[in-house]
Chains A and B, each alone.
Chain A
Amino acid sequence: MTAAVTRKLMLSFPQCECEKPIVYHLVKDYDLVVNIFRAKVTPEESGYLVLDVTGTEENIAGALEYIATFDVTINQTSRGLAWDEQRCTGCGNCLTHCPTDALHVSDRATMGIAFDEAKCIECLACIRVCPYGACSSAF
């Protein structure tokens, strides 16, 4: 059995493909564990789906091919939540509001703040509480 890996996917729906149960097929046909962070799929509007998929490399590759058969843009690089290091002053007001410690103190001696993208679940709490607008959402 090959090792399971986790990939973060950002799917954009230019026009609605919402009548297709895409996520169902990811689970059923490709044996993927799916963790949806954010989704907006509304008829007649462009939408998005941000999720983690966990499974074998082979199954993930197959699933990406399947998704590509729809009018869907797959983005595996850009993030739904961006942290602007230049705007961040390192105050630390976000720390107690970030549920996964994606935003964290990198070194207690200097109290510098760092952002671990892999841990971010896009709850958007940081966007509300950041006094300097350092965090922003792609949608």
Chain B
Amino acid sequence: MKTYADINARIESGKAVVLTAEEIIDYVDAKGLDAAAEEVDVVTTATFGPMCSSACVLNFGHASPKIRFSEAWIEDVKVHTGLGAVDVFLGATELRDKDPANLYYPGEFRYGGGHVIEQIVAGQELQLFALSYGTDEYPRREIRTYFTLDDLNQAIMVNPRNCYQNYNVAVNDSNRTIHTYLGCLEPRRKNATYCSAGQLSPLLNDPLYETIGVGTRVWLAGAHGHVYAEGTQHAGACERNDLDVPTEGAGTLALTGDMKSMLPEFVRGVSLIGYGVSLAVGVGIPIPILNAGILKRTCIRDRDIQAPVIDYSHEYPQNTGRVITHVNYEELKSGRITIDGQVIEVGSMSSYSKARKIAALLRDEIARGDFSLAEPMSPLPRDGAMKRLGIREKSS
């Protein structure tokens, strides 16, 4: 048994034993669970993939004379201005003005909110254009200027939903190609797409939310950020397998971090044909090995994690909840799954190679004593299911 204080003292002294969620599997096999639980301080988990509910808040500072933005665009991508005078909010899936979207189906969606966020983090110079109705204290009515990350007072990433605990595997049961956020799906189940780091993924290594909670310090694209709330659509009451691992989406995390400390490699704009734009984010989360039970759950393997296979041509859009079957991540990562005797080629939307890289970067940072752990202020709820949106008449 260890406490957060014990582990942080070891990290500070540079003596912490830190392994990635991939390395820990063989380590525990060799050492035995109890001996390893004594020895290991932290297991690092990670994921990298498109996370549509990612966004940022930017503060531009004041020009002379001052303006209070009533409408604003960065590189022709509309940002939300319903905040203080020069604060703006930009979401990852915002399209660029006049993007024809799916008018000429399927649209290409080459540039949008996610790409703006990528370019800000990469330190590129971008155009700001803003309008105002003018007030006594903010008389300027229009501004067009250029800025980089260094010019901003604050650039804070605020992601309402990252790190889905588990995720769907998408197939297409129809007779035409469909274009989804899980890629182009060929007719009659010719291909399938999954989107999870599996055995490296943060919440699959802490399936019961014993250590990851509100206040947990996280590695958000290289910045030391934290979990600020349960993620949107967090649904702790989900179907779980014998190892307590969810067999559906389940938990999510709301993450925040300072964009000025982020590494551009892990903040990437995403263009998905026929769907839209998004942002891919790299996240690493340390799991403190407080006891043997927590360690045991970090030893989860791809073959022990099942994902639901869902038809994205009908069942998903119609919200029927029908699951074709479950497959595990070992099968998915082999590149082929077999359903009802049909061999289906498998692609992925989540980068396992980037997740490995992040888990190793975080491991090394903790081992060097440069990243300490934060004890959660409150746990993520284990109850609560995802509500549906009813369509109804106004209550009298």
Do the two chains bind? Answer: yes
- Contact residues of A with B, CB < 8 Å? 89-97, 105, 108, 110-113, 128-129, 131-133
Q: How far is the CB of B371 from chain A (nearest CB, A)?
A: 23
B 256-295 binary contact with A (CB < 8 Å = 1; else 0) = 0000000000001111110000101000000000000000
Does residue B333 face the partner (Cβ distance < 8 Å to A)?
yes
Contact with A along B379-396 (1 / 0, CB 8 A): 000000000000000000
Is B193 interfacial (CB-CB < 8 Å)?
yes
Contact call B280/A131, Cβ cutoff below 8 A: yes
Mark out the residues of chain B between 165 and 195 whose CB falls within 8 Å of any chain A CB in the assembled complex: 183-184, 186, 190-193
| B334 with A97: CB separation less than 8 A | no
Q: How far is it, in angstroms, between the C-alpha of A133 and the C-alpha of B269 when the chains are bound?
A: 10
B354–A105 touching, CB < 8 Å: no
Which of B123-131, B139-147, B245-253, B340-348 forms contacts with chain A? B340-348
Name the distance in Å between A132's Cβ and chain B's nearest Cβ: 6
- Is the contact region of chain B dominated by helix, strand, or loop, or is it mixed? strand
CB B105 to nearest CB in A, in angstroms, measures: 13
A89-B280, A111-B333 known; A129+B351 contact, CB < 8 A: no
- The distance from the CB of A64 to the nearest CB of chain B, in whole angstroms, is 38
Q: Closest chain A residue to B50 by CB distance?
A: A131
- When chains A and B are docked, how far (Å) is the Cα of A96 from the Cα of B169? 14
Nearest CB in chain B: distance from A72 CB, A: 33
B-side interface residues, number (CB < 8 Å): 33
Contacts of A90 in B (CB 8 A): 351-354
Q: Verify B351–A91 contact, CB threshold 8 A.
A: yes
Which residue of A93, A96, A129 is within 8 Å of B345 (Cβ)? A96
Is B350 interfacial (CB-CB < 8 Å)? yes
Is the CB–CB distance between A110 and B353 below 8 Å?
Answer: yes
Q: Can you add 16 more A-B contacts, CB < 8 Å, to A89-B280, A89-B354, A129-B183?
A: A93-B183, A93-B193, A96-B190, A96-B192, A96-B345, A97-B191, A97-B347, A108-B335, A111-B352, A111-B356, A112-B353, A131-B270, A131-B271, A131-B349, A132-B268, A133-B110
Q: How far is the CA of A43 from the CA of B190 in the complex (A)?
A: 40
Does residue B48 face the partner (Cβ distance < 8 Å to A)? yes
CB distance from B260 to the nearest CB of A (A): 22
Given A128-B273, A129-B184, A95 contacting B353 (CB threshold 8 A)? no
For the complex of A and B, list the 10 residue pairs with the smallest distance between their C-beta atoms, beginning with the closest. A111-B352, A96-B191, A92-B348, A90-B353, A96-B347, A96-B345, A131-B270, A90-B351, A91-B351, A95-B347
Contact of A108 with B184 in the complex, beta carbons under 8 Å: no
Which of B50, B268, B273, B346 is within 8 Å of A129, CB to CB?
Answer: B273
Query: Given that A89-B268, A93-B193, A129-B273 are contacting pairs, would A110 and B347 also be in contact in the complex, using a CB cutoff of 8 Å?
Result: no
CB <8 Å contact, A132 and B270: yes
A128 to B110, CA, bound (A): 10
CA distance A8 to B335 in the complex (A): 29
B302 to chain A, nearest CB (A): 11
Quick one: CB contact mask for B314-334 with A, threshold 8 Å, 1 for yes? 000000000000000000011
Which one of A110, A113, A131 has the highest number of Cβ atoms from chain B below 10 Å of its Cβ?
Answer: A131
| Residue of B whose beta carbon sits closest to that of A131 | B270
CB–CB A97/B348 < 8 A: no
| Nearest-Cβ distance from residue A55 to partner chain B, whole angstroms | 34
* B113 within 8 A of partner (CB): no
When C-beta atoms are compared, the residue in chain B nearest to A132 turns out to be B268
Known contacts A93-B347, A96-B346; decide if A111 and B270 are in contact (CB<8 Å). no
- Asked whether B271 lies within 8 Å of A89 as measured between CB atoms, the reply is no
Q: What residues of chain B lie closer than 8 Å to A112, measured between beta carbons?
A: 353
> B202 near A: Cβ within 8 Å?
no
| Contact A97–B333 (Cβ < 8 Å) | no
Check: B222 CB closer than 8 A to any chain A CB. no
> Which of B191, B192, B346, B353 lies in contact with A113, CB distance below 8 A?
B353
The reply to whether B351 and A94 form a contact with Cβ atoms under 8 Å apart is no
Residues of A within 8 A of B184 (CB): 97, 128-129
**B207 touches A (CB below 8 Å):** no
Q: CB-CB < 8 A to A94: which residues of B?
A: 347
